[in-house]
Chains A and B, each alone.
Chain A
Amino acid sequence: MVRILFGASGLVALWLLMSGLWDKPLILIFGAISIVLTMWITIRMDEADGEQLAFAIKPFATVKYVIWLLAEIAKSNLAVSKIILSGRMPERQKLFMVPVSCKSEIAQVMFANSITLTPGTITVETENDQFIVHALDFSDEDMDGLADMDARVAAVESSVQS
């Protein structure tokens, strides 16, 4: 019941935020109908599978991590732009394995997406304890950088397993 109330009030807030209309009764009624419909479908789905999503990450550590990630993205954007504008063909592209220490699925998704978000590296394949990563301009520091990123994601991951 608490979850239903939380969900409904969240949807009301989202709807008002997205439409920005407070004073048109017809539109408000349409919004109310769509929220009731969504909640009804959600309740039915819960009855169907009963599976709940658990986000086993620490909220404040995640915000800190995202800020660090944005700085990394800025740095590697400049590096890749330099390679593109340099006029030479990149000769050191490489596919390599990266060990992964985080356990929960959400942390692994965060790590894989962080690698892909950072220009110059793309996660190609994910397995349980290692990723295959393609790098545009491979150097030995890349491995250290990725191990550092892995440690940071593992720090965000909370000990409560989903």
Chain B
Amino acid sequence: MSNWELASDILGWVFIISGSIFMLIGAYGALRLPDFWTRLHAVSVTDTGGVLLLTAGMVMQSPDWLIAVKLVFIGVFLFITGPTASHAVANAALVSGLMPKGEVMPGTTGKEAKAMGATSEEKSY
């Protein structure tokens, strides 16, 4: 095993382990945080930190470049579809009237955001 292979092996394991830690933190946050909106933020940690680090680690560990290219494709697609899906979920929550609960800063609740002009129901698609 050459020095280069050893370095990429070690780096790959560092990425995989730190990605797994972010996955666990995100899962813990999704259970611990109080309401839908804050839980969505916890899930976005698994969506970015976890997924990106894990795919990067797997690229480092992959035995040949064909597999590495496929992993890069998977990473790029998750990078685009992940936030799009989160946005769709958050938008559905706002449209159906689910507002942030708990101690929200005064004057900033979703109802007032709606009154400010966020009338998605009237938008014509």
User: Which residues of A are in contact with B by a Cβ distance under 8 Å?
Assistant: 17-18, 20, 70, 73-74, 77, 80-81, 83-85, 89-97, 112-114, 116-125, 127, 132, 134, 136, 138
Contact = CB atoms under 8 A, between A and B. Distances in A.
Interface of B: 22, 25-26, 28-29, 32-34, 37-38, 40-42, 44-45, 47-49, 52, 66, 69-70, 79-80, 82-84, 86-87, 90-91, 93-94, 100, 102-105, 108-110, 113, 116-118, 120
Nearest to B70: A18
B118 A127 contact: yes
Nearest to B109: A95
Contacts of A80: 29, 41-42, 44-45
A147 to B, nearest CB: 18
A77 B22 contact: yes
Contacts of A92: 105
Contact of B33 (A84, A116, A118, A123): A84
Main SS at interface, chain B: helix
Given A20-B66, A122-B90, A136 B105 contact: no
B109 A112 contact: no
Contact of A132 (B41, B48, B69, B118): B118
Contacts of A96: 108, 113
A125 B120 contact: yes
Given A77-B48, A81-B22, A132-B118, 17 more contacts: A80-B42, A80-B44, A83-B29, A84-B29, A84-B32, A85-B25, A97-B116, A114-B83, A116-B44, A117-B48, A118-B48, A119-B49, A122-B44, A122-B86, A124-B91, A125-B94, A125-B120
Nearest to B49: A77
Contact of B25 (A84, A120, A138): A84
B31 to A, nearest CB: 10
B32 A95 contact: no
B41 A122 contact: yes
A99 B45 CA distance: 25
Contact of B83 (A18, A90, A117, A120): A117
20 contacts: A80-B44, A81-B22, A84-B28, A84-B45, A91-B103, A95-B108, A96-B108, A96-B113, A112-B87, A113-B84, A116-B44, A117-B47, A117-B83, A119-B49, A122-B40, A124-B90, A124-B94, A132-B113, A138-B105, A138-B108
